[in-house]
Amino acid sequence: KVIHTDDTSIKMLEPGRGVTRSCKFWPYLGDWLHPYAVYDFTLTRERDGPQKFLAGYQGYLQADAYSGYDCIYAGDDVFEVACGIHARRYWHRAIDNDPVRANTALGFIARLTQIEKQLRKAYPFENLQGKRDFAAVARGRQTHSLPILEDFKAWLDTESESKKILPKSPIRAAFTYTLNQWDALVRYTEEGYLSFDNNIAERLVKMPAIGRKNYLFVGSENGGRGAAIMYSLVSSAKANGVEPFAWLKAIFTELPYFRDGDAFRQAANKEPVTSSELDHLLPD
């Protein structure tokens, strides 16, 4: 029903040239019914990457305001959900430029985030995959968040017309971003399983970011795709409460003995395992 995504850069060594080029990792995280993280590796940040990966998908897509996603939203299959925290960053950067307007906007956003905290407390997550009483969450947002959003929008429409706001100023950028993304910013109130922010996807790019500091670059396109596969396995294990090392040890030691793909998938999705439970799989 909803996929969260983001992207982060990685350098790739171009053999024979002694130089690197900038490539991308794209993590895609499924909902509570599909609690898996899949990383894609592309040579560029062009729209072809997410467009190809998400071909045939129907549902909500929560992402940043990257224009490359626009072609995905153009039809009737995928609906954009923006990140409220991403919008908040624009207003925070504008505090020095226009403290009164910036802090007013941040006040609206703070009230919205406070409601989200109250809803998480009243309707907590039932498992690691994010299952909760979605109908109650949606009702809470429509009762408490929508009126705040309506007041916020009215304030934005009025204040954005001020001639005192310079065209290229940080405060103008904050108004422009928020108004341009408005429909996507309020869409989270439609369903209880949608999120006010996209922090969960932003956390997924931390793993490649840490790797980037350690190994600096991938050695080839195949190396990048291999890294994406490993990131997918580790992140999916974490999302399901499975110890990553234990799970990797299980699939890599058991996989050679499975000829039936369905049987392996059933074994790979069994109850969470621990390292001690898998010691018998390792050779003496």
**pLDDT tens-digit readout, 29-38:** 999 888 899 9
Average pLDDT, the chain: 89
Cα–Cα distance for residue pair 54/69, rounded to 1 Å? 10
Report pTM. Answer: 0.85
| Predicted pLDDT at 282 | 40
Q: 181-209: per-residue pLDDT in tens?
A: 999 999 999 999 999 999 999 999 999 99
pLDDT at 262: 64
Q: Is the pLDDT of residue 53 over 60?
A: yes
Which pLDDT score is estimated for 6? 94
pLDDT band for position 107 (50/70/90)?
very high
- Residue corresponding to tokens 């007041």: 151
Band of residue 221 on the pLDDT scale cut at 50, 70, 90 = very high
* pLDDT higher at 32 or 80: 80
Query: In the chain, where are the structural domains located?
Result: 2-82+201-231, 84-182, 243-281
**What is the distance between the alpha carbons of residues 79 and 86, in angstroms, rounded to a whole number?**
18
Q: Does residue 40 surpass a pLDDT of 70?
A: yes
> Exposed, middle or buried by CB within 10 Å (0-12, 13-18, 19+), for 203?
middle
